[in-house]
Chain A
């Protein structure tokens, strides 16, 4: 039990639609990061938020966007869905954004794009 919850656990969308995934971090963890994990691959870093500001981004296009709220929850939004967006999306929280901070992962949201 990591104290990080994600919703929904599974969802199916069609190409061109938009999706919002949600993550509730541990209380007091003001850093959240999001990852995309395609089947059989390791996670890929999408972006990180620290105190409601994006402070790092991986190699993902602008249609991947996020928000972080003061209540330790956050969202990942993906617009104009493509088939290749089908993946497990993981969020992880950590304390104060230190690079050496331990990561606490949620169970993930599995997105299928048809």
Chain B
């Protein structure tokens, strides 16, 4: 069993739709990261959370520490949002666990 589980694995949406990607984890964590990976490999850090909620533009990330669950929301989705979204958790200074990612395709 993976320490980090994401759902859905694949997601196709029409441009403008509201999108939610979920992440559940089974270990105690120091922080949770949402990452975006475009084809070709480059990863960009979107959010780092240890509690509550963060917003950046059309992206919103929430975390519930008690339930060990986080969600990434994209409002008014756009084709340029098409990417793989990865949830990762850090536990202490030397342990990182990654989900397998959610592949998002936004159709114009």
Chain A residues with CB under 8 Å of chain B are: 2, 33, 35, 37, 40-45, 48, 50, 55-58, 88, 90, 92, 97-108, 110
Q: Is the CB of B42 within 8 A of A42?
A: no
Q: Is the CB of B45 within 8 A of A42?
A: no
Q: Is the CB of B41 within 8 A of A90?
A: yes
Q: Is the CB of A43 within 8 A of B86?
A: yes
Interface pick from B13-21, B64-72, B73-81, B93-101: B93-101
Q: Is the CB of B41 within 8 A of A100?
A: no
Q: Which of A2, A42, A98 contacts B44 (CB 8 A)?
A: A2
Please measure, in the bound complex, the distance between the C-alpha atom of A99 and the C-alpha atom of B30, giving whole angstroms: 6
Please measure, in the bound complex, the distance between the C-alpha atom of A97 and the C-alpha atom of B45, giving whole angstroms: 16
Given A48-B94, A105-B43, check contact A42 B99 (CB 8 Å): yes
Q: Is the CB of B94 within 8 A of A42?
A: no
Q: Which residue of A lies closest to B89 (CB)?
A: A99
Question: Interface size for chain B: under 10, 10 to 19, 20 to 34, or 35 or more residues?
Answer: 20 to 34
Q: Which of A44, A98, A105 contacts B42 (CB 8 A)?
A: A105
Q: Is the CB of B96 within 8 A of A102?
A: no
Q: Is B22 in contact with chain A by the CB < 8 A criterion?
A: no
Q: Which residue of B lies closest to A90 (CB)?
A: B43
Q: Is the CB of B98 within 8 A of A108?
A: no
Within the complex, what minimum Cβ distance (angstroms) separates B63 from chain A?
Answer: 13
Q: Is the CB of A100 within 8 A of B43?
A: no
Please measure, in the bound complex, the distance between the C-alpha atom of A100 and the C-alpha atom of B33, giving whole angstroms: 9
Q: Is the CB of B93 within 8 A of A97?
A: yes
Q: Is the CB of B90 within 8 A of A100?
A: yes
Given A43-B86, A105-B44, check contact A100 B30 (CB 8 Å): yes
Q: Is the CB of A41 within 8 A of B96?
A: no
Please measure, in the bound complex, the distance between the C-alpha atom of A98 and the C-alpha atom of B96, giving whole angstroms: 12
Please measure, in the bound complex, the distance between the C-alpha atom of A40 and the C-alpha atom of B45, giving whole angstroms: 19
Q: Given known contacts A41-B100, A56-B93, what 15 new A-B pairs fall within 8 Å (CB)?
A: A2-B44, A37-B41, A42-B4, A42-B100, A42-B101, A56-B92, A99-B31, A99-B90, A100-B30, A102-B45, A103-B33, A103-B35, A105-B42, A106-B42, A108-B42
